[in-house]
Structure 1
């Protein structure tokens, strides 16, 4: 019976990034393909609608007046930094967290480059108060941050040989 080697953190991080990116792009493509239905909003459940929105700014529409290429350039710098963190991570949790953030960032940059803004379609609300619409890339970024903050931290002892 052969033993399987454990998954390397970098492979886990890369898998998380690819999964987040693919799911984000697939769901955005479905939302865009149903523009007519989602333009006015599609009630799904109490407190949740699907609605098509193009965000030319960043989170919550901030920096809406910044040129799109400046936002792309900033995002690409962050993406390179996240890729380095993902592939240097020694812990699986860190790699997964960085990978989720990386995949989400790549999904939103792909939208900016192709469409001039980020496609948002998830609309949660309570009464008349609506949370700003978002997408799966934003969810992946949020979940990645949560993983980085809450994943159990075990002290890693480095083994050193005494001389």
Structure 2
């Protein structure tokens, strides 16, 4: 196993920045802006700050797990973070390290919320033309955007950089004609 120290450094930096931005925004929304007392505040057309204590996981799934959910979700998240850290340390690609770092920082931020408050602090509410997205936070945005970028990168690389096996298959097919 070869460690890529530049990737590890970038991944840890991205995780730290994501975690810090997430926690600072949640602290501000709870204690300075005092959103729990206000409930929901229109920021601009299509965007509100709406206080939600999320006891579930992504998109409200598994919300009925009760108090055990806090421990279960935190444990699963930290196991995923461990796997992401291994991926970050092993990848030679800085893009992958940065994206996995953002996912890591977001996951750790949400775990800290669960341990500190018993639920994740969600407050960003986008809506337009009768459509309403789930209420989320900076950590959720970092996780979702990074996962989408990883999927797009994977699709692009598959299409434009075939592996050796795919290249040999194409060459064999062309030679058989």
* TM-score in same-fold range (> 0.5): yes
SS in 2 for 1:65: helix
Report whether the alignment pairs 1:116 with 2:118. yes
Question: Secondary structure of 2:49's match?
Answer: strand
Question: Is the contact between residue 20 and residue 104 of structure 1 (CA under 8 Å) also seen in structure 2?
Answer: yes
Q: Which residue of 1 aligns with 2:173?
A: none
Poorly superposed stretches of 4+, deviation over 2 Å: 34-40, 149-155
Unpaired segments of 5 or more residues in structure 2?
164-177
Residue 137 of structure 2 corresponds to: 135
Q: Report the Cα distance in structure 2 between the residues aligned to 1:36 and 1:103, rounded to whole angstroms.
A: 24
Shift of 1:70: 1.1
**In proportion to residue count, which structure has more helix?**
2
Matched residue, 2:16: 18
Task: Name the structure 2 match of 1:31.
Answer: 29
User: 1:4 maps to what in 2?
Assistant: none
Instruction: State the 1:146 CA deviation.
Output: 2.6
Contact 2:41–2:50 (CA under 8 A) maintained in structure 1: yes
Residue aligning to 2:6:
8
Distance (whole Å) between structure 1 residues aligned to residue 47 and residue 147 of structure 2? 24
Q: Tell me the TM-score normalised to structure 2 length.
A: 0.78
- In the alignment, structure 1 segments of 5+ residues that lack a partner are 1-6, 158-163
Question: Across the two proteins, how many residue pairs are aligned to each other?
Answer: 151
1:43 is matched with which residue?
Answer: 42
- Cα deviation, 1:90-135, whole Å, max 9, x if unaligned, reads 1001101110110110010010010001000100012343211000
Does the CA-based 8 Å contact 1:38-1:50 persist in structure 2? no
